[in-house]
C-alpha cells in the first residue's frame, strides 16, 4: 500500500480544500471523484463515530486504499444535544439555514446565557487497509454559546448563531483561516495527521 496516498470520503469541495491545507505537506489527499468512486454511504448511525467509521471502512473495502471520512454537527445542551448527528437533516435536508437558525433562536428565546452552551463536533475516521487493517478515530470540538441573533456572512450552516464569547463574534464573522485554526474540523485534522504519522511513517 502507498503510505502517503489518502482518499477523503467527501463530495464537498470546500471540505476537501480545508483538509488538503492541513494534510498536504505530509500526505497526498485525493477526493472520491479523483479516485473514481461514486457511491453514497447512508449515514444511519446514532453517533458521529459510527457514521465516520462506516463511511471510511465501506470506501476502503471498495478501493483497497487508505480512506479518511468525517462526520460533524452542532450539539446544543438546552436541546439535549440536538441537532447533533442529525445537523444536516434537521427540519429536512432541503430546509434553508435561515429557517433552521431562526427556529433554534426561537426555541432558545428568553433562555439565559449560561444555559445556551453548545459545541461543534467533528469526528474523523481513518480506515487503513491490509496489512494493517486498522480503524483510527479522533474527535475535535469547539465550545461556544447560541447567540441571540444571526451575525456574519462567512462559513456555512449554523455558523451565524454559533457565538464565541472569548472572541466576541460568531464563527460566521471569522475568516476561513482564523476559523480553521480553532474549529472542530481543524482540530480533528491535526489530530488525525499525528495519528497517521505515528502509524504509517
Q: Which residues are catalytic?
A: 71
Task: Tell whether residue 72 is a contact of ligand IMP (CB under 6 A).
Answer: yes
186 is a contact residue toward ligand IMP (CB under 6 A): no
- Tell the smallest beta-carbon distance from residue 88 to ligand IMP (Å): 4
Report if residue 144 touches ligand IMP, rule: CB under 6 A. no
Q: Which stretch binds ligand IMP (CB under 6 A): 64-72, 106-114, 125-133, 187-195?
A: 64-72
Candidates 156, 165, 167, 199; binder of ligand IMP (CB under 6 A) is 156
Instruction: Identify the residue among 8, 27, 158, 163 touching ligand IMP (CB under 6 A).
Output: 158
Question: Is residue 163 near ligand IMP by the rule CB under 6 A?
Answer: no
**Among 18-26, 54-62, 106-114, 152-160, the segment contacting ligand IMP (CB under 6 A):** 152-160
DSSP calls for the chain: --TTEEEE----HHHHHHHHHHHTTT-EEEETTTTT---------SSHHHHHHHHHHHHHHHH-S-EEEEEEEEEEGGGTTEEGGGTTTTT-TTS-HHHHHHHHHHHTTT--GGG-EEEEEEEEEEEE-TTT-EEEEEEEEEEEEE-SS---SSS-TTGGGEEETTTTEEGGGS-HHHHHHHSHHHHHHHHHHHHHHHHH-
The answer to whether 71 contacts ligand IMP (rule: CB under 6 A) is yes
Q: Using the rule CB under 6 A, is 155 a contact of ligand IMP?
A: yes
Nearest distance from C-beta of residue 132 to ligand IMP, angstroms: 25
Cβ proximity of 44 and 66 under 8 Å: no
Task: Scan for cell 471569522, then name that residue.
Answer: 174
Q: Which residues bind ligand IMP (CB under 6 A)?
A: 70-74, 87-88, 120, 155-159, 183
Amino acid at each position: 500500500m502507498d503510505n502517503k496516498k489518502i482518499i477523503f470520503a467527501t463530495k464537498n469541495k470546500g471540505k476537501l480544500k480545508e483538509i488538503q491545507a492541513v494534510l498536504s505537506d505530509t500526505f497526498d489527499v485525493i477526493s472520491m471523484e479523483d479516485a473514481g468512486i461514486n457511491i453514497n454511504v447512508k449515514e444511519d448511525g446514532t453517533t458521529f463515530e459510527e457514521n465516520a467509521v462506516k463511511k471510511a471502512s465501506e470506501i476502503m473495502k471498495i478501493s483497497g486504499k487508505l480512506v479518511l471520512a468525517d462526520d460533524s454537527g452542532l450539539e446544543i445542551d438546552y436541546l439535549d444535544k440536538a441537532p447533533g448527528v442529525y445537523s444536516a437533516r434537521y427540519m429536512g435536508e432541503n430546509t434553508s439555514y435561515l429557517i433552521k437558525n431562526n427556529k433554534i433562536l426561537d426555541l432558545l428565546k428568553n433562555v439565559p446565557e449560561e444555559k445556551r452552551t453548545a459545541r461543534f463536533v467533528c469526528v474523523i475516521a481513518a480506515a487503513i487497509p491490509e496489512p494493517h487493517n486498522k480503524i483510527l478515530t479522533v474527535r475535535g470540538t469547539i465550545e461556544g454559546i447560541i447567540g441571540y441573533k444571526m451575525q456574519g456572512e462567512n462559513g456555512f450552516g449554523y455558523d451565524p448563531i454559533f457565538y464565541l464569547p472569548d472572541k466576541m463574534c460568531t464563527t460566521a464573522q471569522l475568516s476561513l483561516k482564523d476559523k480553521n485554526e480553532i474549529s472542530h474540523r481543524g482540530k480533528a485534522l491535526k489530530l488525525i495527521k499525528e495519528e497517521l504519522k505515528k502509524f504509517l511513517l
